[in-house]
Structure 1
Amino acid sequence: MSQDNGGDLSQFSMLDLFRMEADSQTQILTDGLLAMERLKDDAGAVESMMRAAHSIKGAAAIVGLEVVVQLAHGMEDAFIAAQNGKLALTPNRVDVLLAGVDLILQLSRLQDAQVDGWLASNSAQIKQTMNSIGTIAFLPEPVDLLPPVPAPRAPVTPAQAVDSAPDGMPGMDSRVHGNDIAAEPEPVTPATPVTSPAHGADDAPATAARQPAPAPMKATQSFDKLLSLASESRINAHQLHPLIQNMQRHKRNQSSLFALIEQLHEAISNTDDASLKEKSLLALQKTHPLKQFVLEHIADIEAYERRLLAVSQGMVDEVLTMRMRPFRDGVQHFPRMVRDLSRSLGKDVQLHIIGEDTLVDRDILAKIESPLNHMLRNAIDHGMDSAAERIAAGKPGTGTITLEAKHRAGMLSIEISDDGKGVNLEKIRARVIERKMAPAQMAASMSQAELMEFLFLPAFSLKESITEISGRGVGLDIVHETIRSQNGTVRIESEFGVGFRTYITLPLTQSIVRALVTDVKGEAYAVPIVQVERVIKVPQSAIHTLENKQFFDFGGEHLGLVSAAQVLELGDTDAGGEELSVVVIGAGARRYALVVDAIRGEQSLAVQAIDPIFGKMRDISAAALLDNGEPVLILDVPDLLLSIDKLLHEGGLHQLAKSDAAERRKTKRILVVDDSLTVREMERKLLQTRGFLVDIAIDGIDGWNVVRSGEYDLVITDVDMPRMDGIELVTLIKKDIHLHKVPVMIVSYKDRPEDRARGLSAGADYYLTKGSFHDETLLDAVTDLIGDAHR
């Protein structure tokens, strides 16, 4: 990690400075060893490693860490031998040297009082690692090392507080293959990979301890205040523009008055009244300085406005620059992780990182570390075969993963691609049917994009067995949720036998969002540009109606029209004009055309968090002020898509309300409450085919609000849901004086007798397990409870 050595370091002790030195130099050693392992004869890498080892040795000697001196000296000798062609840095020898790097890094993170105790408790490991480094040229292949040394839980030091790593970055799992030279080594298998001491799970507490606790909070608060002040300054600068426009209007009115005075003077000049002539001439002469005064002052205030705008915008830019970090600060440990993990699994994989100098907000950089980690681990475990299998498939024995970051259209674009085996879509389809997430007929008709979406569902995995690396169904759902929480989008593509590709788009900073500003019922609403696909004008003549839904043709696709005013509960949209202003949001099957009153254009908005007293506002993520000082609400697009789904599935579009009101009165209504989009959709379609009117709710709280707002003949609910589970929902319904007679059916994966008893004791009228679930089972149960669809 690079350090800013231009600052005042006088407040740090020599040991603090050594820690700073060790952080940067061990990274050089790690990068160099990985490069040598791949390139074999990279003279530049050897030279940089020799300098790094020499620097560490000198720094350690100054602070009296003799063990580090000996380790660095042994590594320096190995690099000299490699430079002279006497030592080949094979993967197993690189393992030995990386173990030395890990020990140095751990020792550098110890406090003074911890050093002696830690050295005593790990003396055998340290001694044998130093012996392995000292005799590395004579050790036969493979070389085995001791198990990793647990890292100490070190408290924060001033030197660590100035570490340039982004705050909040957790320790990374880094796997080492076959590292053990204990007297009785435990076998290391791919199912139980060993964790590297510098980067492993045991080191996570130490890594976390390195992060300054109060300082980042104060720094964040100071940054937010600075940004708010800078943004306010920019808004105030824009406020001068209306004043200048008023002065220009005053100048025009004044010019008209002066022209009239000139005409009046000419008329009086033709008379014989000397006194009137004198007065009219005096009035004309008085107009000249007034005219000059207005012209000069308008020019001055326009120049002042330009300077103020430039300074205020510069302030905003500089405050944001304080938050920006190069992409490498968040990913420099990934090559080591990929190398160690692939070796632990018996594979040969290399990582290429492109765009390391791309600047990213430090908070975003910290937040995306975990998603990127998941994607890389998935690529190694799921996508990559062994070298022999790759060669048999006509590919190079070494697998390649490419991680690229770049700025595109004012956004951060990250692409992760690998040349592994990709994803078998038929395997996804079979797993969907096997887990009863969709009927076989529906699954057979799903497109590639729809099938790939299942990979983002929680607990959905294609692995047949559970290992340390994967198979628990945890990974892509975390990626999806984390990226979404940062106002970003993630998209995956795969070609079976060719590879897998992930596209992530994020704002460069969360403090300033580039947004499309629209008008809805006289109010300003903004949509983050990253979540806007298109902005178009749709002629009234291009709008069609099919199955009571309005749509227009968009590139051969029927794209549904939804009123923004209705979704936001602001009233009806005025669609009297010849064209509709439309913002296309969402993707795939959940892509909609949001109809707004007008499009104002793009603006960079300084995000202002909504006061927590309001809680989470539906469909709204934050607020901001426009350049003219007008408040604007920033839409939460994922939340908005859920609201649109619910509105469409309820058949509640404004233009449909009158036509089917009578039909709704004589048809039985069912409320389906489930947090799984797939389950909700399947149950809705099954029930609608039998003629029932079906409304949906996305969790227990939503279900409770909906059931109280309408008349329902049946409620079907899941058990495990966020915010309020199904048991709580059943209990509330059965205790409500107005709702207690409404039948409630529980549909759950839980099929133990105690689960069934718990549901029925809460008041449920029927308990159906998803394990035995099929089309007729649900429909028969519904018929048993409430009969046919029509009253």
Structure 2
Amino acid sequence: MSEPRAPDGDLSQFSMLELFRMEAESQTQSLTDCLLSVERHADPAALEAMMRAAHSIKGAAAIVGLDVIVQLSHGMEDAFIAAQHGLLKLSPNRVDVLLAGVDLIVQCSHLQESGLQEWLATQGDTIRRTMDAIRGIAFLPEPVAASPAPAPLPPATFTPPATFTPPATFAPPAPVAPVAHAAAVPEPAPEPAAPADTPAPRGKPVVQSDRLLSLAGEARIAAHQMQPLIQAMQRHKRHQAALFTALDELQEAIGRSGDPALREKVAQVVHRGQPLKQFILAHLVDMEQYERRLLNVTQGLVDEVLVLRMRPFRDGVHHFPRMVRDLSRSLGKDVRLEIRGEDTLVDRDILARIESPLNHMLRNAVDHGIEAPDARARAGKAPHGTIVLEARHRAGMLNIEIRDDGGGVDPERIRAAVVARRMAAQAMADTMSHAELMQFLFLPAFSLKNEVTEISGRGVGLDIVHDTIRDQNGTVRLESVPGHGFHTHITLPLTQSIVRSLVVDIGGEAYALPIVKVERVLQLPRVAVHTLESKQFFEFEGENVGLVSAAQVLELGEMMPQELLPVIVVGTGAHRYGLVVDAIRGEHSLAVHSIDPVFGKLRDISAAALLNNGEPVLILDVSDLLMSIDKLLAEGGLHQLARGGNAARRRMKRILVVDDSLTVREMERKLLSGRGFEVDIAVDGMDGWNAARSGDYDLVITDVDMPRMDGIELVNLIKKDPHLHTLPVMIVSYKDRPEDRARGLAAGADYYLTKGSFHDETLLDAVADLIGDAFR
């Protein structure tokens, strides 16, 4: 994948040869695209574009003294002009010759002066053959014969270029790996290019963008540090409001006593306190507005830095149409590649790393999938096969699909191969679903190809695809309909710099799992857990899924028993497990920080990050995690998760929620259950009073306005009861008037929270203030 081209506005830093190389790169890509287009159908616009591209290359090469390129581009330009005048048809064999000329231009444009003589010595025969082929392109028969047939007379208006003579001097820029020549020109194989999956050198701009992203992430975290301060100010505001309410009550009481001196003193205290109230209100609003502006700016900064790292999908796949065309020609097939979603933006690192997997899939599609023309004719298909490579964004992820209209894969052939290789017994293989059978194609050395070729059939390819996509926190899924084609679905994060993750608590620490690796999140009742041969499982989508403690897998000790087990379903097929965690915090976008290489590869850990509050979090390597689970299963050392209910109840704190609104009850119950509390509900004050007397609760949360018995009466009864008077009670009400708050606090309520200012963290903070965390 090429580096970004120089901006048009500032070219002074580049030499003439560097400018020529950039222009040649652009123009040769245009030539390749247009040649592939006119090979399929005549396109006057494409012919005009090719003529201009060849003319531009010729002129630019003449300026920098690259005579080899001047002569090559001149011959190609004459061929395009002849085609424009209807004197030459650009058939596949002629396109082969012209593509060979494009390849030589690319190779030559990337040479340095020091390597010129050696290149001319090794490629001189190839250059002469290519020039002769371009010069005689009008006489080239269709198809190419082993011994050239007598050529027809050349058109009178088509003048071949002069005989090629290598230049005496040459000074092009830095070398790159040569591009493979077209099959039409017989020649020795060029030196192999660097492997497609080898990452490109990380240049200074890339390192700088990484540093910018790190700083932008830290700025965002710093902006989020305002939230705890604002929450503390809000709590101070509530306490201040309670103080002023008490002062108002004191002023009323003194007023009734008739003591003028006391009345004057308390009036002065109330008067002096008014500015304090206004100060808190004004500055709290200012702080909230400042926080919003700061968050918007820092998030915008992160987004802009990410945009700098993004490249259009076309930058990583522009060479695939040529590869598919040349490969299909060598196999005697006619295959066309359609690329869709070329403008879809992809992280530059991901784009570089998925180039090799996509190359594998396309080569497999040409070799394995698309049938020969005669076979397609017998099947009633068009003589040419079609492969579609499409990229698009969906649900915050990058989706890449590769589909062809070839013969597909017969699942019965996979089933037979599985049995023949003794990977499964016949009885077990017969019960495997289509999706399960397709997974065998990802195994190393598993191939349905009988013969071994240079292209495929060695059992190498799909396992590399699977491993590479997995290493990028992605997933790959295969589908096939025999006789109608093969379909590959690849899902990847948009960027490896910011990862959408599910943050959970395990052993009292925060951990994150990439969202793309999470299949389902659920709350599992303990009664739904079953045990068989010391292994625990639960039913999920009609299958029994193993249940494993995340704390045990990570060697963090035993988890705290709960009535509802927070479960993260990960993995697929036989390697799908339910990972039990302490609590689920929610989804976060995390700026990824690599772990210092001095620590080596940490088992089950892939990277680290910081939460918005600055808390460090380790990002789990789900693939490693699945292997660790398999090892625990093999050793038979899994802990039991579902123990006796009484032990769990004794350790969990219980809360009674009393509210006549179903919506409010359920919202509060889910919030508190998610934090690990055991929650019971009551539909009104009377129901709550009966529950409070018969249960062992750590906290009661009640509404005020309810039928049969309101919340104030309930608080009075609880506080007057000799067995319940120490039980904390929180009132959550829509009433925010001072007199309503005063009634609640006078009845003995320990906390008064208004629903008007209510949000998730407000309730949870208030509960934590009263009774602490969820466990005794």
1:302-317 residue pairs with structure 2 within 5 A?
Answer: 302-317=288-303
1:173-212 matches, within 5 Å, as 176-180=182-186, 202-204=192-194
Aligned length: 619
Distance 1:265 1:10, change over 3 A: same
C-alpha distance in structure 2 between counterparts of 1:436 and 1:262, whole Å: 86
Of 600-609 and 59-68, deviating more is 59-68
Instruction: Pick the structure with greater CA Rg.
Output: 2
Larger deviation: 386-395 or 92-101? Answer: 386-395
Write the distance in 2 (CA, Å) between the matches of 1:593 and 1:555. Answer: 13
Q: 1:465 aligns with which of 441, 451, 462?
A: 451
Q: Secondary structure at the match of 1:176?
A: coil
Task: Name the counterpart of 1:503.
Answer: 489
Change (3 A) 1:657 1:233: closer
Name the structure 2 match of 1:621. 606
Distance 1:468 1:262, change over 3 A: same
Residue identity in the other structure for 2:590: L
Tell me, in whole angstroms, the C-alpha distance in 2 between the residues paired with 1:157 and 1:593: 60
Which residue number corresponds to residue 344 of structure 1? 330
Q: Please tell me whether the aligned partners of residues 176 and 341 of structure 1 are also in contact (alpha carbons under 8 angstroms).
A: no
Question: 1:144 & 1:22 partners in 2: Cα distance?
Answer: 33
Looking at structure 1, the residues matched to 123 and 525 of structure 2 have their Cα atoms a distance apart, in angstroms, of 76
Is 2:521–2:567's contact at 8 Å kept on the other side of the alignment?
yes
* Matching residue of 2:628: 643
Q: Give the deviation of 1:174 after TM superposition.
A: 5.3
State whether structure 2 residue 78 is matched by structure 1 residue 92: no
Q: Is the 8 A contact 2:113 2:173 kept in 1?
A: no
Preserved contact between residue 20 and residue 61 of structure 2 (Cα < 8 Å): yes
| In structure 2, distance between residues paired with 1:172 and 1:569 | 51
Secondary structure in 2 aligned to 1:137? Answer: helix
Which amino acid in structure 2 is aligned with residue 176 of structure 1? A
Quote how far apart the aligned CAs of 1:402 are.
1.0
Contact 1:174 1:341 survives alignment (8 Å): no
Residues 269-321 of structure 1, C-alpha deviation per residue, up to 9 Å, x if partnerless? 66776655554443333223222222221111111111111111122112222
Letter in 2 for 1:28: S
Q: Tell me, what secondary structure is at the counterpart of 1:535?
A: strand
Contact 1:422-1:496 within 8 A present in 2 as well: yes
Is 1:395 paired with 2:381? yes
1:755-774 equivalences under 5 Å are none
Q: Which moved more, 1:232-241 or 1:459-468?
A: 459-468
Equivalent residue number for residue 410 of structure 1: 396
CA contact (8 A) 2:324 2:335 kept: yes
**Cα 1:35–1:144 shift into 2, 3 Å:** farther
Q: Counterpart in 2 of 1:479? A: 465
**Which residues of 2 match residues 334-373 of structure 1 at below 5 A?**
334-373=320-359
Cα distance in structure 2, aligned partners of 1:512 and 1:643: 26
**Residue identity in the other structure for 2:637:** G
Number of the residue aligned with 1:290: 276
Deviations for 1:667-724, whole angstroms, at most 9, x for unmatched residues?
Answer: xxxxxxxxxxxxxxxxxxxxxxxxxxxxxxxxxxxxxxxxxxxxxxxxxxxxxxxxxx
State the match for 1:165 in structure 2.
Answer: none
Q: What is the 5 A alignment of 1:366-385?
A: 366-385=352-371
Secondary structure in 2 matching 1:253: helix
Does structure 2 retain, via aligned residues, the 8 Å contact 1:623–1:634?
yes
Q: CA 1:84–1:145 in structure 2 vs 1: closer, same or farther (change >3 Å)? A: farther
**Counterpart contact for 1:12–1:159, Cα < 8 Å:** no
Q: Offset of 1:78 from its aligned partner?
A: 1.9
**Comparing 277-286 and 307-316, the one that deviates more:** 277-286
Go from structure 1 to structure 2 and tell me whether the alpha carbon gap of 1:612 and 1:482 turns closer, same or farther (over 3 Å shift): same
Change (3 A) 1:37 1:403: same
Structure 1 counterpart of 2:618, from 629, 633, 637? 633
Q: How does 1:744-783 map to 2 (within 5 A)?
A: none
Establish whether residue 452 from structure 1 lines up as the match of residue 458 from structure 2: no
Show the counterpart of 1:588.
573
- Counterpart residue type for residue 287 of structure 1: G
Q: Deviations over 1:544-590 (max 9, x none)?
A: 3344433333222222222222222223333431x322211111221
CA contact (8 A) 1:383 1:499 kept: yes
Which consecutive unaligned segments of at least 5 residues does structure 2 have? 148-170, 645-776
Which sits farther off after the overlay, 132-141 or 103-112?
Answer: 132-141
**What does the per-residue CA deviation read over 1:93-119, in whole Å, with 9 as the maximum and x for residues that have no partner?**
100110111111111101134345534
Question: CA separation in 2, counterparts of 1:144 and 1:70?
Answer: 27
1:268: how far off? 5.0
Distance 1:646 1:657, change over 3 A: farther
Post-superposition offset of 1:204: 4.0
Cα deviation for residue 400 of structure 1 reads 1.0
CA distance in 2, matches of 1:643, 1:498: 40
CA distance in 2: counterparts of 1:173 and 1:62, whole angstroms:
24
CA distance in 2: counterparts of 1:57 and 1:76, whole angstroms: 9
| Deviation per residue, 1:440-464 (Å, 9 max, x gap) | 4444443333332222222222222
Please, which moves more after superposition, 463-472 or 365-374?
463-472
Worse-matched range after superposition: 641-650 or 339-348: 641-650
Aligned-pair CA distance for 1:74: 2.1
Match of 1:555 in 2: 541
- Relative to structure 2, which stretch is displaced further, 341-350 or 65-74? 65-74
Structure 1 contact 28–49 (Cα < 8 Å) conserved:
yes
Measured at CA, do residues 94 and 59 of structure 1 come closer, stay the same or move farther in structure 2, by a change above 3 Å? same
2:48 pairs with 1:47: yes
1:641 maps to amino acid: L
Correspondence list, 1:658-669, <5 A: none
Determine the structure 2 residue equivalent to 1:234: 220
Whether 1:22 aligns to 2:56 is no
CA distance in 2, matches of 1:14, 1:247: 63
Structure 1 residue runs without a partner (length 5+): 147-155, 161-169, 183-193, 660-791
3-state SS, counterpart of residue 634 of structure 1: strand
Structure 1 residue 622: Cα displacement: 1.5
- State how far apart, in whole Å, the 2-side matches of 1:591 and 1:422 are: 27
* Paired position in structure 2 for 1:690: none
State the match for 2:75 in structure 1: 74
**% same residue:** 66
Instruction: Tell me: CA distance 1:440–1:274, structure 2 relative to 1, closer, same or farther (3 Å).
Output: closer
1:723-782 C-alpha deviation (Å, 9 max, x unpaired): xxxxxxxxxxxxxxxxxxxxxxxxxxxxxxxxxxxxxxxxxxxxxxxxxxxxxxxxxxxx
For normalisation by structure 1, the TM-score amounts to 0.73
Which aligned pairs between 1:128-277 and structure 2 lie closer than 5 A? Answer: 128-143=129-144, 176-180=182-186, 202-204=192-194, 213=201, 216-265=202-251, 268=254, 276-277=262-263
Report the Cα offset of residue 88 of structure 1: 1.4
Matched, 1:570 2:553: no
Name the structure 1 match of 2:62: 61
- Tell me how far apart the structure 1 counterparts of residues 420 and 28 of structure 2 sit (CA, whole Å): 49
Q: Secondary structure at the match of 2:139?
A: coil
Residue of structure 2 equivalent to 1:766: none
Matched, 1:515 2:501: yes
Relative distance call for 1:124 and 1:94 in structure 2 (3 A) is same
1:494·1:501 contact (CA, 8 Å) conserved in 2? yes
2:651 maps to: none
In structure 2, the CA distance between the partners of 1:178 and 1:250, relative to structure 1 (3 Å rule), is same
**Superposition RMSD on alpha carbons, in Å?**
3.0
> Does structure 1 retain, via aligned residues, the 8 Å contact 2:561–2:641?
no
CA-CA distance at 1:471 after TM superposition: 2.3
AA in 2 matched with 1:528: P
Shift of 1:351: 0.7
* Residue range with higher mean Cα deviation, 362-371 or 221-230: 221-230
Provide the rounded CA distance (Å) in 1 between the counterparts of 2:517 and 2:318: 29
Separation (CA, whole Å) in 2 of partners of 1:273 and 1:616: 78
Distance 1:652 1:289 in 2: 65
Partner residue of 2:648?
none
Contact 1:533 1:586 in 2 (8 A): yes
